[in-house]
Amino acid sequence: MYLCKAGDNEILVSHRDAFLGFWVSATTHIKGTCKINTFSMDACISRLNEGSLPTSMTLDFTKRQRAVCFLFWSPYALKTDPEKFKRIVGAPLERMYGLEIAIAEVPGFLTRKDKTYELTDKSAAIHHHMEQMYTAAYIGKMWNVSGKQAFPERIVQK
């Protein structure tokens, strides 16, 4: 759990690398696999009564997808810890994204402080707007398809 300050207001942001989700539309993320339960109450109950999990979608992350997921959520702490990245992803941050880090440092989107990379106000604002657009598109598509099909065969995000 991260505690960030924005002006005089404190914002609580919660993100864990691994978590369990229970019941309808809940998400579980463990060891590089993300599972999303059905959005249908009836289908969820039916699956549980059968002794099966109500999982409607499963994503098995590649190393690169896991790295992108980590980097997508880490800005909420306003910093990225290369050691934590390596522990979770299994590869050094600089080896996977050294060029991108160097490019982001030139215009002042990232600064190196102690052993972490910190987002500047400019890059935090840009990330926030990009995250809002992506999340709205992703959630909108997922909710739309999942509201029509309890167990969709696949959802393609473009």
pLDDT in tens, 21-35: 889 999 888 888 889
Kindly state whether residue 120 falls inside one of the protein's structural domains: yes
Residue from 48, 20, 47 nearest 34 by CA:
20
Number of compact structural domains in the chain: 1
Residue 1 has pLDDT above 80, yes or no: no
Express each pLDDT in 42-94 by its tens digit: 999 999 999 999 999 998 989 998 898 888 888 888 899 999 999 989 999 99
Cα separation, 108 vs 111, whole angstroms: 7
Cα angle 99, 104, 108; round to 5: 150
Q: What's this model's pTM, rounded to 2 decimal places?
A: 0.72
Residue 122: inside a domain: yes
Is 38 in contact with 24 (CB distance < 8 Å)?
A: yes
- CA–chain centroid gap for 46, Å, is 29
Percent of the chain at pLDDT exceeding 90? 48
CATH at 21: 1.10.10
Residue 154 lies in a domain: no
Q: Indicate the residue type of 114.
A: D
Report yes or no on 71 lying in a domain.
yes
Q: Which domain holds residue 123?
A: 2-148
